[in-house]
A and B are shown apart, each in its own frame.
Chain A
Amino acid sequence: MLVFNQLETYLYLALILFAIGLYGVLARRNLIAVLISVELILNAAMINFMAFNRFVAPHPAVGQVIALFIMAVAAAEAAIGLSIIIAVYRKLKAINVEQATELRG
C-alpha cells in the first residue's frame, strides 16, 4: 500500500524545494529572484523541521517553535535583502548580479 503520510515523503518534498532554491540562487541573475530562491531554501529547511517533529520527536512543540523562528528570521532577512537590493539599484541602476563587480580583487 502506498502510504503518502510518512517521513520520507516530506523529506523528498523538502529536497526538491531545496534543489529548486539552490538552482535559483546559483543560476538566476536577477537579485530579486535570488532572494525568492533563498526563501525557498528556508522553506525546505522548515519542512524538514516540521516533518521530523511530526514523525520522530517526542515533544510536539519543538519543531514548530523552530519553524516560527525561521519565519521571523526569513522576514528580517527579506527586509534586509530588499534594502540591499534597493541600494544596489540606486548605485548601479540595475539589479543584475553580474554587474556588482565593485569588490573585484
Chain B
Amino acid sequence: MGFNIGSVDPLFLACFAIVALPALAFGTIMIFTWRRDNLSLGISLTCSTIPLILAWWLFFTVKGATLAEPIILQVNWMVSDAVVVPFGFHLDPVSLLMLVIVATISWLIQIYSIGYMEGDPGFARYYADLSLFGMAMLSLVSASGMVQLFISWELVGLASYLLIGFWYEKFSASEAGKKAFVVTRFGDIGFYMGLVFLLYFMKDISLFGLGIADINNIGLTQKLTEAQITLCALLIFCGVAGKSAQFPIHVWLPDAMEGPTPVSALLHSATMVAAGVYLMTRLFPFFAASATAMAVVLAISTITLILSSTIGMVARDIKQVWAYSTISQLGFMAMGLAAAGLAHGTLFAGYYHLTTHAAFKALLFLCAGVFIHHFGTNDFFVMSKDGGRKLMIPMVTVTIAALALAGIFPFSGFFSKELVLAQLWHLDNKLWVGLGLFGAFLTAYYTFRVIFVLLFPRPDDHPAWQTYYVREEVAGHGHGAHGHEEEEAHGSHGHGGHGDHHGVPWVMAFPLIVLAGFTLVLGFMQTRIEKFLLGESHPHELNYLLLVLAVGCALGGIGMAWLDWGRARANWSGFLSKFPMLENFFIQKWYMDHFWRWFLNTVIYGTFSRIFTYNDRRVVDGGVDAVALGTIGSGRLLSFIQTAFLQLNLLFMVLVLAGVGIYLLMGR
C-alpha cells in the first residue's frame, strides 16, 4: 500500500499535527534536551504554537461539520475478529471549539510559565510534562472512538500526576499526585467497565469498535433498551465524576493545588477537569437517552455545587478557594447538561459555561499565581497585608474574573450561568433551580470574600487580625497547613528574587490581559457560539423573574461579602461564625477526607486487603510451601533407594528395561 503524503486529506494532516507535535516535543525534551532549559522551552513553545494556529484555522475553515453529521477522519488501528478499533479524529463543532480552548489556554500558560518557573531546576521537565498534557488533551478532544478517548484520558491523568507531583521532593506534593492518580483511577474503573458493557451491548446490534458517532446514534435511535443505556451511562459517569471532581470523589482536586500554579490553571481548572464535562457533552445524545442516569447526574452535581461552595467560603488559601470554586462550577456545568437531558434541551448551556469558565478560571488562577510568586505565600490575608492591591494588572484582571465567576453583567459568566439556570428552570421540580441559585449566591460570596480582603488591606492593629489569628489556631491542622508548605517550596525553588522586581514581568501579564479580554468578549459571542455549535440560534426568551433572581443572588452574595469582609468595620469573621458547628463542618471539608480515610481503613485495608492478604499468605504462599515440603518429604521417603552403589542401580535399570522389552516383544 503506497503512502503518499500529498494524497492524504489536509484536514487529517492538520489534526495529526495538532496531536503529534506536542508528543514530539515531550519525547525530544525528555530524551535529548532535558539539560538545556532554553532549547527545551523553544521546542515546547514551537510545538504548542503550531497546534494553536492549526486549531484556530480548523475552527474557522471547517465547514459542514455539524453535530448530527460530523466529519470523521480515521484509520483502522486494531482489528480483532469483527471488532475494528478506529484511530482518528471526530470533527464537529463541539470538538472544534474545545480544540481551540485547549490549544489557546495551554499556549498562554506556556508563555506565563516562562516567568513563573524561571530558575526552577526542573524547568525542562516542566515543559516536557506540559507538552505531554497538550498531546493527551488534544487527542482526547478530537478522538473518533472511545478506545482512543480512553487512552488519552489516562494519559491526561498521567500528565496530571506528573505535574501535581512536580516538586516531588516535597512530601505533600508527591502524596497529592498519588492521591489524584488513585482517586481518578477509582472513577476510571467505572468508565472502563462502562465501555466494556457498551461494547458488549453494541455487538448485539452489530456495531463494533465504540465509535463516538455510533454511540450517539444509539442514543438518538433507541436501539438499546433503556436499562442498558442507563447502566453504561452511569458507569461512564463514574469516570466523568473522577476527572471532573464530582461528589464524592472530588477530594483529589483541592490537594492537586500542590502543583505549580500555572499547572493548576491549565489542568485543574480550565481544561483537564473539564474533560469530564466534555465527555458528557461529547456523548450528550447517549446520556440524554436515559432519564434515570440524567437524574442521578443532576443530583450528584447539585450536591457537588453546594458542598464545594460552602467549603470555598472558609478556605484561606487562595488556590484552595479557586479549587473549590472550580469544583462547584464543574458541578454547575454537569447540572446544565443533566437538566438539558431531562428537559429535552440542548447541550449548549452546559458547554457554553465550560467555555466561559475555561477563560475566567484560568485567569483567576494565573492572577493567584502572580500573587503567590510575588509574595511567596498562598494565604490571601497575608497577601493583602503585604500590599497585594499594588499589583495593578493582576488586581484588575482578578476582579474582572471574579465578577465573571460571580455572574455579573457584562462579564461572560453572567451569560452562561443565566443559561444554565434557565435550563434548570425548565425542570418540573423547582428545587433544582433553587439550589442552583443558592449555589450562585455562595459563589458570589466566597469569590468576593477573596477580592475584598485583597482590595482593602487592614493595618496591623485592626481588630480584624485578631479574628484571623484565632481562626488560624482553629483551622491549624486543616487547610492552613497547605499555604505554609507551598511557601517553603517556593522559597527553596529559586523564587528568591521577588523582592527585586516590583512590576509583573510581561510574559506573565500578557496572558492575563488576553484572558481578561476573552472574559469580557465571550459573553457577547453567545448567539454566535450557539449558531456555531447547534447550526441555529434559538431565540432566547428572557425570563425576567429568573434574571432578577439570578442577579439578585449574585449581588446579594457580593453585598454579604462586603458586610463581612469589605467595609472598614468588618471584623473578618463572616456570617458563618454565627453557626460555629456549621463553620467547623465546612472547615473540615464536610469530613469527606475523614470519610475516605475511614473508608480506606475499614473497607479497603480492613476487609479487602485482609482477605487478599489471607489468600496470599495461606493459599498462594501456603500452596507453594506445601508443594516444596511435599517434595522434600517424598524425597526423604524415597531416599532409601539410593544405596550409593551406582552400578547396582544401573544393573536394576537394565534388567527392568530388558524385562519391559521382552514383555512388549513377546508378551502378546
A residues engaging B (CB < 8 A)? 22, 25-27, 97-98, 100-105
Contact = CB atoms under 8 A, between A and B. Distances in A.
Given A22-B654, A26-B654, A104 B643 contact: yes
B640 A105 contact: yes
B647 A100 contact: no
20 contacts: A22-B654, A25-B647, A26-B647, A26-B650, A26-B651, A27-B647, A97-B647, A98-B644, A98-B645, A100-B644, A100-B646, A101-B644, A102-B644, A103-B639, A103-B642, A103-B644, A104-B643, A104-B644, A105-B641, A105-B643
Contacts of B650: 25-26
A103 B643 CA distance: 8
A23 to B, nearest CB: 11
Given A26-B654, A104-B642, A105-B638, 13 more contacts: A25-B647, A25-B650, A26-B647, A27-B647, A98-B644, A98-B646, A101-B644, A102-B644, A103-B639, A103-B642, A104-B643, A105-B642, A105-B643
A26 B658 CA distance: 15
A70 B646 CA distance: 25
A22 B650 CA distance: 9
A59 B647 CA distance: 39
Contacts of A25: 647, 650
Contacts of A97: 646-647
Interface string B644-668: 1111001100100000000000000
A9 to B, nearest CB: 21
Most buried by A among B641, B645, B646, B651: B646
Contacts of B639: 103, 105
A101 B649 CA distance: 13
Nearest to B654: A22
A52 to B, nearest CB: 16
A104 B649 CA distance: 12
Nearest to B637: A105
A4 to B, nearest CB: 26
Contacts of A98: 644-646
Contacts of B638: 105
A27 B651 CA distance: 10
B657 to A, nearest CB: 11
A35 to B, nearest CB: 13
A25 B653 CA distance: 12
A35 B651 CA distance: 16
A3 B650 CA distance: 37
A105 B650 CA distance: 17
Interface in B625-640: 638-640
Contacts of B647: 25-27, 97
A97 to B, nearest CB: 5
Interface string B581-623: 0000000000000000000000000000000000000000000
Contacts of A27: 647
Contacts of A105: 638-643
A73 B647 CA distance: 23
A78 B97 CA distance: 77
A103 B636 CA distance: 11
Query: 8 tightest A-B contacts by CB?
Result: A105-B639, A101-B644, A104-B644, A105-B642, A105-B640, A103-B642, A97-B646, A26-B647
B639 to A, nearest CB: 3
Contacts of B642: 103-105
Contacts of A22: 654
A26 B641 CA distance: 18
B95 to A, nearest CB: 65
A103 B644 CA distance: 7
A29 to B, nearest CB: 8
A22 B646 CA distance: 14
Contacts of B651: 26
A102 B644 CA distance: 7
Contacts of A101: 644
B656 to A, nearest CB: 14
A44 to B, nearest CB: 13
Nearest to B638: A105
Contacts of B640: 105
A102 B643 CA distance: 10
Contacts of A26: 647, 650-651, 654
Contacts of B641: 105
A70 to B, nearest CB: 18
A98 B647 CA distance: 9
Most buried by B among A22, A26, A98, A100: A26
Nearest to A27: B647
Nearest to B658: A22
A20 to B, nearest CB: 14
Nearest to B640: A105
A22 B647 CA distance: 11
A22 B645 CA distance: 16
